Amino acid sequence: MVQYVGVENLIQLIRSVGVETFLTELATYVEEDFRRWPEFDKTPRVASHSRDGVIELMPTADDALYSFKYVNGHPRNTRKGLQTVTAFGVLSDVQSGYPLMLSEMTLLTALRTAATSAVAARCLARPNSRVMAIIGLGAQSEFQATAFKALCGITHLRVYDVESAATEKFCRNMQTSGLDITVANSSQDAVSGADIITTVTADKLKATILSDNMIGAGVHINAVGGDCPGKTELQAALLNRGRVFVEYPEQTRIEGEIQQMPQDFPVTELWQVMTGDVQGRRSEQDITIFDSVGFATEDFSALRYLKDKILGTDFYTEIDLVAEPEDPRNLFGLLNQV
């Protein structure tokens, strides 16, 4: 039998643990796996493009576990009341090839993306960072806010979205978060005085959410929204001025902010900062940029955490996804029994 964590069970699990604790524990798994980056079998995601969007498969594996995530991106879905992004994933045993756990990953992806952002900021932002700007208050924004509060000590948010409905939703959801929230009247206004700037807009086009002249020395930019070909948020001049950190260069050069830059544009791999092989922030004046597109190992970490977390709980069911004939060579016999 395969363990199954559906949406309802995951919600109940997160509520019982608490979102901040869940994000904090998840972050330790994400960080652990980044630190042993060379152990993973890595490949850019396999995409199937259509007129309205894309469906992607994101596999990865270490010696013991294999995972893949199915994820779609359909920008027009919201018009139909559907989500732009939905996802689910599977964790398997490498030795037998058998699937172990199937989980919803729409929520889990939002959580691992926020946890990864916070893990990156912990080694790239100034340690005394307290004020974060968030530009773009869509589905991912509250997860980012919560992760940065729990993991980076952010106490004050300066937030902006072009749609007031999104801003209202964000403020409502964050009402009891304990964060001090200032609603800004422009992106420019939002970033003023921020130690960390998170851009997480949803436009599927080359937008300039942050231009070079908006950014002062010492800032860490957490660029989450530019995550597929044709979709960027930062001005090229800003990328040239700061130091850019990425997950998996082969994928980020296609999907990230640096798709605007030449193929040899210098980047630093985040895992090397985590292992201490490469210095992250070098001075109080550095502008550091995490060009985040999301990578398969982060889903692996999330599934690995979830698998450990549900152990001995009621937050999963079991499903008969794998046939189990008594004699493995007698598959046909399953059809004959009466």
What residues are labeled active site? 227
Is 61 near a second copy (CB under 8 A)? Answer: yes
Nearer to a second copy among residue 69 and residue 126 (C-beta) = 69
Q: Considering the complex, what minimum distance in angstroms separates the CB of residue 316 from a second copy? A: 12
Is 53 near a second copy (CB under 8 A)? Answer: yes
Q: Of 24, 86, 182, 208, which lies in the binding site for a second copy, with binding defined by CB under 8 A? A: 86
Q: Of 107, 207, 236, 261, which lies in the binding site for a second copy, with binding defined by CB under 8 A? A: 107
Query: Pattern of binders to a second copy over 261-280, x per CB under 8 A?
Result: --------------------
Is 313 near a second copy (CB under 8 A)? Answer: no
Nearer to a second copy among residue 40 and residue 245 (C-beta) = 40
Interface with a second copy: number of residues (CB under 8 A): 76
Q: Considering the complex, what minimum distance in angstroms separates the CB of residue 44 from a second copy? A: 10
Q: Considering the complex, what minimum distance in angstroms separates the CB of residue 338 from a second copy? A: 8
Is 160 near a second copy (CB under 8 A)? Answer: no
Q: Of 24, 35, 55, 179, which lies in the binding site for a second copy, with binding defined by CB under 8 A? A: 55
**Calpha distance 105→111 (Å, rounded):** 9
Nearer to a second copy among residue 94 and residue 278 (C-beta) = 94
Q: Of 3, 99, 117, 309, which lies in the binding site for a second copy, with binding defined by CB under 8 A? A: 99
Q: Which of 71, 67, 68, 101 is nearest to 83 (CA)?
A: 71
Part of the chain binding a second copy (CB under 8 A), chosen from 86-94, 215-223, 243-251, 260-268: 86-94
Is 11 near a second copy (CB under 8 A)? Answer: yes
Residues 163-192 that bind a second copy (CB under 8 A): 166, 169, 173
Residues 137-156 that bind a second copy (CB under 8 A): 138-143
Is 36 near a second copy (CB under 8 A)? Answer: no
Residue 54: Cβ within 10 Å count: 16
Nearer to a second copy among residue 44 and residue 218 (C-beta) = 44
Three-state SS string over the chain comes to CEEEECHHHHHHHHHHHCHHHHHHHHHHHHHHHHHCHHHCECCCCEEEECCCCEEEEEEEECCCEEEEEEEEECHHHHHHCCCCCCEEEEEEECCCCCEEEEEECHHHHHHHHHHHHHHHHHHHCCCCCCEEEEECCCCCHHHHHHHHHHHHCCCEEEEECCCHHHHHHHHHHCCCCCCEEEECCCHHHHHCCCCEEEECCCCCCEEEEECHHHCCCCCEEEECCCCECCEEEECHHHHHHCEEEECCHHHHHHHCHHHHCCCCCCCEEHHHHHCCCCCCCCCCCCCEEEECCCCHHHHHHHHHHHHHHHCCCCCCEEECCCCCCCCCCCCCHHHHCC
Nearer to a second copy among residue 54 and residue 236 (C-beta) = 54
Query: Pattern of binders to a second copy over 119-138, x per CB under 8 A?
Result: -------------------x
